[in-house]
Amino acid sequence: MTAPPDPPDGPGPYDPGLAAAQEALVRAMTAGGPMPAGFDAAAVRAAAHGILLKRAGEVERAWPGLAASYGTGWRGAFSEWARERPTRGSFRDGWDFARAHRDGLAPAAARELALAEVRWSYDGTGAPRPRRAAVRRVPGGLAVQVLGRVREVATAGARRAMV
């Protein structure tokens, strides 16, 4: 048995053409960029579809109520929305998707979004930051957060409906 060859002394020469082609390929697969010349279009589309399905699965783990509200149509709905949007992480991708569909969210998904918004300050561009205090409507009541502690309070109408 022979030992593997010693690794080279650092990276090889920088090739700007290769770097540009790689960047174009990544953009085509993850952010809806144009198909770069010289690549198999069907293979790139298949890889891009696989990446979208993986993203949908990651968002599903971060936002289970949101994903469950779409049932078996979750991966398709998320993939269609995310097709031309680069990922910003599963938490932010889910939050952005939920905000874009806020008016049609099922109660469990609306609650999940409200709880995220009561805990975190997020403007859709920068990274979420923890809030010191906030109040948000949740289906059937309010979510109140003060110094990291979140409590849900049923509103009078919700209490009457429970009796």
21-35, 65-79, 96-110, 132-146: least confidently modelled range: 21-35
Distance in angstroms (rounded) separating the CA atoms of residues 30 and 52: 8
Q: Give the pLDDT score at 6.
A: 59
Q: Give the pLDDT score at 7.
A: 57
- Are 91 and 38 spatial neighbours (Cβ–Cβ below 8 Å)? no
Q: Which residues are registered as beta bridge partners of 130?
A: 120
Q: Which residues are registered as beta bridge partners of 143?
A: 136, 152
Q: Which residues are registered as beta bridge partners of 138?
A: 141
Distance in angstroms (rounded) separating the CA atoms of residues 154 and 91: 27
Burial of 101 (0-12, 13-18, 19+ CB in 10 A): middle
Q: Give the pLDDT score at 31.
A: 81
Q: For the residues 91-114, what does the mean pLDDT come to?
A: 95
Q: State yes or no: pLDDT of 87 exceeds 60.
A: yes
What contacts 96, CB < 8 A, 6 or more positions away? 85, 88, 124
Q: Give the pLDDT score at 157.
A: 61
Q: What separation in angstroms does the CA of 98 have from each of 29, 77, 131, 136?
A: 23, 11, 19, 15
